[in-house]
Amino acid sequence: MAAADDGAPLIAVYVLDDETPGQWKRGGASRWWLHHSLESLGADLARHGVTLILRKGRADSVIRQLAREADAQAVYWNRCYEPFARGRDTKLKDALKDEGIEAHSFNGSLLAEPWTLKTRDGGPFRVFSPLYRALEPTLDNVAPLPAPKRLNGFEGGLASDALESWKLLPTAPDWAAGFGEVWTPGEDGAHKRLCAFVKDRAKDYADTRNLPGVPGTSGLSPHLHFGEISPRQVWARVVADVPAGKGRETFCKELGWREFSYHLLYHYEDLPEANYQKKFNQFPWGFDAGAFKAWTRGQTGYPIVDAGMRELWATGWMHNRVRMICASFLTKHLLIDWRKGETWFWDTLVDADLANNSASWQWVAGSGADAAPYFRIFNPVTQGEKFDAGGEYVRRWVPELKDLPAKYLHAPWDAPEPVLKRAGVSLGSTYPKPIIDHSTARERALAAFSSIKEAA
């Protein structure tokens, strides 16, 4: 908007930066989304007379070179909040100014800048609820800016990479073949998803968001991550069009949790790699390669866990309630370091987001800010029975159990042999036996937690 209002010819550019030190390079699922998002963006800009320039390399160097080629007078961008990106962009801004080029950055990704929300003592928030109480009053009159009426495209010839040359899409095998049935990357897809959510599901969000077998969530997380829609657009639309009530309130708080994750990452830059609670540096993590492989493939023998991990592989996404169950299983049943799970999700989620991914994994593991107590160990059986009572979710993603009665679906080992036989289930053959006993795992996890409490 600001660049368009300037009146000068516009050059739109996206830089694929895999070279700036300190970054988490995009995982496979994110690269799939990026390819299609750039296709959509390029087409949208072309309809307005602007060509999207694609270049690869260190973003600060590429932008400076492009500015020289075009004799640009100003550069505009939306801020990034990852630690490596903040340092890079600060250096870029200084370098551009040294060359007499104006540099302007804006908030297009958050409801509020992380440095504007402070405790009474002037420090960062460590707990969600006080942060949300500070954030909410600032959003009473959120109104997204209107789209520019026209764009003035730059007419000079500038070299651009072909999107296909970046090889963002998987080929052999094409493990993302099913993603397109679920997702439509791009601004148009984002707004259609928001409209459907507001119209059909938002008012019931508080009741349905934890039920993986029904379409109760917004599905906006990848669109938000890739900047195809802003949280302010989402907030404003929901507040304007969804009746006041528990559904609207709960959804707005979920947007608040996203802000909290970015707040933490901004103020605690090592959040993706280091335990927020330092006592967890003494936690006795282990690593069983076979158990980890079973978890990644959805072969743990716990149906709700396996359903989630298979949904992730097939769609690049997992229902949030099931994410918590799967993360708890890895860190507390298997005692595998949360960073192993964080890395797996980073590679397989289309909404892989450094702030949300790291903060959420630490929350579940018990090592994070405002974390779930470590002794809160999700029982995958009772979680399945509570949130997938009819078994719609498990039957979809674990079809080898689809003919089991709901009574046994979440604990097939409890089913009598005749019931298993009628359902075509042979434990250890057609479906794995549990790789660990829940009671045994719980006792082991509690003992591990006690050891670090004593050490602290």
Give the other-Cβ count within 10 Å of 78's Cβ: 12
d(CA 160, CA 53): 5
Q: Catalytic pick from 361, 363, 379, 397?
A: 361
d(CA 126, CA 28): 32
Tell me if residue 115 is catalytic: no
Q: Which residues pair with 74 in a beta bridge?
A: 102
Tell me if residue 285 is catalytic: yes
Is 316 within 8 Å of 350 (Cβ atoms)?
yes
Tell me if residue 313 is catalytic: no
d(CA 255, CA 248): 11
434 to 38, 101, 297, 299, 454: CA distances (angstroms): 43, 62, 14, 9, 31
Tell me if residue 183 is catalytic: no
Q: Give buried/exposed letters for 370-393 (b at 16+ CB in 10 A, else e).
A: bbbebeebbbbbebbbebbeebeb
User: Collapsing DSSP states into helix, strand and coil, what is residue 76?
Assistant: strand
* Phi, psi (degrees; rounded to nearest 5) at 315: -120, -10
d(CA 12, CA 164): 18
Quick one: tokens of 172? 């052999």
User: Collapsing DSSP states into helix, strand and coil, what is residue 346?
Assistant: helix
Tell me if residue 166 is catalytic: no
Quick one: tokens of 422? 């009628």
Tell me if residue 338 is catalytic: yes
Q: Catalytic pick from 166, 175, 257, 413?
A: 257
Q: Catalytic pick from 19, 39, 69, 254?
A: 254
Q: Catalytic pick from 113, 320, 392, 413?
A: 320
Q: Catalytic pick from 32, 33, 295, 338?
A: 338
Residue for token digits 């003919």?
403
User: Collapsing DSSP states into helix, strand and coil, what is residue 26?
Assistant: coil
The residues annotated as belonging to the active site are: 254, 257, 285, 320, 338, 361
